[in-house]
C-alpha cells in the first residue's frame, strides 16, 4: 500500500509504512519503506533514522545520498558534506555517485559556496555526449549551478543537452506509452506491449529493438548512437552476443536433426 501511495499521498504512505514497522520492524525492507516514505513526506529526521537502521540491518550503503540530503533538510549542510566524504561514499555505484554529487552541490549552495557547487558536479559521469539514466538530472543540476556563477549561456546549453538525453533514452516527454492487450472475456490485461523501448531488464535502453547499451560502469563498453547523435550507454551489454550464440546453437541443432532424418531414410 505504501508503495502505491508514495507518489500520490506521501504522508498517508508514511503512516502505512509506520504501521507495518510496528509489526515487522526488524526487516530491512520494512525500514527501507519507512525511510523512503518519510523522505517523500519531508520528515527528514525520521527518514535519516530509518535509513541508518536499514544500513545497520542490511549492510547496504545505497541510500547514503538520501541520508546526506536529509542532513541538508535538517539544516545541516556541513554534515551532508561530511557524509559525502566518507569511505562508504567512495564505494557507491555510478548512479549513486551522481546522486551524491547533486546533494554535495546543493549543500555548497546552502553555504553560499557557488563555485564549489559547480565543481562538485564536474565528475566523470558528466559527459554531454553520452546518455545514461541519470544524465538528464545531472545535466540540469549542473545548469542550475552554472547560472549561480553567471555562466548563463553554458547553463542553457546543458539544459538543451538534458532534453537531447531524454530523447535518446526515451524518457520524460519522450517516453513511449504502455499499451495493454485486454482479454475480451474478463478484460484483464495480458501483457504490456511497447511501441519503442524494451522492457527486458531495469536500466535497459531500447532505442532500437535489436540493440542494447553498455553498462553504466563500463564507459568504454559497446554502445549505440541514436538519431540525436548522442551515445546511449545504459543497461546490459551482452544481449547481442548471447542472441548470436543461441542462434548458432539452434542452427546446429536443426542441422543435426536433418542428418538424423536422412540416415533414417537410408536405413
CB-neighbour burial class of residue 212 (10 A; exposed 0-12, middle 13-18, buried 19+):
buried
Question: Is residue 106 domain-shared with residue 29, that is, in the same domain?
Answer: no
Average pLDDT, whole number, for the chain? 77
Q: Which of 174, 190, 206 is the last residue of a domain?
A: 174
pLDDT at 211: 29
The conformational region for residue 57 under phi > 0 = left, psi -120 to 50 = alpha, else beta, is: alpha
Q: 68 and 167, same structural domain?
A: yes
Instruction: Give the range of the structural domain holding residue 123, as residue numbers without chain letter.
Output: 62-174
| Rounded Cα gap, residues 14 and 8, in angstroms | 11
Report the SS3 class of residue 164.
helix
Q: What is the model's pTM?
A: 0.68
Q: Identify the pLDDT of residue 16.
A: 86
For the chain, how many structural domains are there in total?
2
Residue 215 phi/psi, 5-degree rounding, is -70, 150
> Quick one: 66 and 120 in the same domain?
yes
Rounded mean pLDDT, 36-43: 95
Give the CATH number for residue 93: 1.25.40.10
> Is residue 83, in this structure, part of any structural domain at all?
yes
197 pLDDT above the threshold of 80: no
Instruction: Tell me the pLDDT tens digit for each residue of 109-136.
Output: 999 999 999 999 999 999 999 999 999 9
Q: How confident is the model at residue 1 (pLDDT cuts 50, 70, 90)?
A: low
Same domain flag for 44 and 66: no
Amino acid at each position: 500500500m505504501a508503495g502505491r501511495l508514495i507518489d500520490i499521498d506521501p504522508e498517508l504512505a508514511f503512516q502505512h509504512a509506520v504501521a507495518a514497522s510496528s509489526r515487522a520492524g526488524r526487516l530491512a525492507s520494512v525500514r527501507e519503506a519507512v525511510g523512503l516514505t518519510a523522505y517523500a513526506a519531508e520528515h527528514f529526521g525520521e527518514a535519516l533514522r530509518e535509513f541508518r537502521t536499514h544500513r545497520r540491518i542490511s549492510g547496504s550503503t545505497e541510500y547514503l545520498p538520501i541520508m546526506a540530503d536529509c542532513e541538508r533538510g535538517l539544516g545541516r549542510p556541513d554534515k551532508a558534506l561530511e557524509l559525502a566524504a566518507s569511505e562508504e561514499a567512495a564505494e557507491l555505484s555510478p548512479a549513486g555517485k551522481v546522486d551524491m554529487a547533486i546533494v554535495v552541490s546543493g549543500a555548497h549552495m546552502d553555504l553560499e559556496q557557488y563555485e564549489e557547487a559547480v565543481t562538485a558536479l564536474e565528475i566523470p559521469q558528466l559527459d554531454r555526449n553520452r546518455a545514461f539514466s541519470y544524465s538528464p538530472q545531472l545535466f540540469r543540476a549542473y545548469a542550475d549551478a552554472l547560472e549561480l556563477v553567471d555562466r548563463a549561456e553554458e547553463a542553457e546549453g546543458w539544459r538543451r543537452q538534458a532534453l537531447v538525453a531524454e530523447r535518446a533514452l526515451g524518457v520524460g516527454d519522450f517516453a513511449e506509452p504502455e499499451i495493454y492487450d485486454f482479454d475480451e472475456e474478463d478484460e484483464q490485461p495480458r501483457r504490456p506491449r511497447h511501441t519503442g523501448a524494451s522492457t527486458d531488464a531495469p536500466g535497459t535502453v531500447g532505442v532500437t529493438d535489436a540493440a542494447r547499451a553498455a553498462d553504466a560502469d563500463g564507459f568504454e563498453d559497446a554502445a549505440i548512437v541514436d538519431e540525436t547523435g548522442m551515445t546511449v550507454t545504459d543497461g546490459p551489454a551482452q544481449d547481442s552476443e548471447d542472441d548470436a550464440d543461441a542462434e548458432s546453437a539452434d542452427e546446429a541443432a536443426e542441422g543435426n536433426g536433418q542428418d538424423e532424418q536422412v540416415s533414417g531414410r537410408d536405413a
